[in-house]
Amino acid sequence: MTSAAIPAIFPALVAARWAYTNLAAEAKADPAVATASPNPLNDPAYCQAWVEADARRKGVDFTYGGYMEPRDHLWRGHYHDPDKMRHTAVDYNVPAGTEVVAPAGGRVLRVVRDTSYGGWGGCVFVQLDNPYRGAGYYLMGHLAHARLPEPGDVLQRGSRVGFIGKPRENGVWFPHLHLQCFDQAIFDRYVPVLDDMDGYGPNDELENSHMPDPTDLGSGRHR
């Protein structure tokens, strides 16, 4: 992983080694999970151990990736519509309890504490001070429910947003951060109930153009 892409949103992990991973491809290539039924990756404890093993194989501490991955096989048997399984965000695969800070300045619009299976868990929606690749907004999902900011709070780059949640409060996922950007068209579609936005979409390039790759935002390369 190049230094330019190292996440700047985890202050406790500044010395960590990172690598990109494609979990969808890894799941298809791993005979232990590729055809197993039921899908063991839908168990968050199993999935966490599997993701950590993937990092060890790559010789790093943590992995990230997932933007525009087709994940219909990865999460087969989950609640998702298999025709809408294009992942529209970057996932940072870090342990529960890891502190998360804002990648850029902005204002908190909405804070969610979702307890549903497959949901957001703790999630913070932010309007950026300066648009990023045409997107004026971002969200951070699968956080713990405690110590989140409040709507209306002004965030500076490096302001604490929250902490990675455990499965019981993060939507019953393995611990990770979901970072997603979106533009005004997506915002207008879902306001006033931003909670209804999903982290997955159709395999549609026009749709996906409204949700640009947030990797450079997460690395702190946007002010």
Of 12-16, 98-102, 219-223, the one with minimum mean pLDDT is 219-223
Mean pLDDT to the nearest integer, 142-156: 98
Of 78-87, 88-97, 161-170, 181-190, the one with minimum mean pLDDT is 78-87
- Which pLDDT does position 44 carry in this prediction? 98
Extents of the domains making up the chain = 3-214
Closest CA to 212 of 184, 174, 188, 170: 184
Question: In residues, how long is the chain?
Answer: 223
Does residue 192 have a cis bond before it (omega within 30 degrees)?
A: yes
Residue 193 above 70 pLDDT? yes
Quote the DSSP letter at residue 23. Answer: H
Residues 178 and 88: their CA atoms lie apart, in Å, by 9
Residues 64 and 177: their CA atoms lie apart, in Å, by 9
Closest CA to 44 of 52, 36, 35: 52
Q: Which fold has domain 3-214?
A: Glucose Permease (Domain IIA) (2.70.70)
Which residue blocks in the chain are alpha helix, DSSP H? 23-29, 44-57, 184-190, 205-208, 215-218
Closest CA to 200 of 80, 117, 92: 80
Residue 199 above 50 pLDDT? yes
Q: Measured in whole angstroms, how far is the alpha carbon of residue 193 from the centre of its chain?
A: 19
Residues 168 and 104: their CA atoms lie apart, in Å, by 29
- Which pLDDT does position 120 carry in this prediction? 97
- Read off the amino acid at residue 216: D
Report the predicted TM-score, pTM, of the whole model to 2 decimal places: 0.95
Residues 6+ apart with CB under 8 A from 212: 132, 133, 134, 135, 181, 183
pLDDT for 83-113, tens place per residue?
Answer: 889 999 999 999 999 999 999 999 999 999 9
pLDDT band at 1 (very low <50, low <70, confident <90, very high): very low
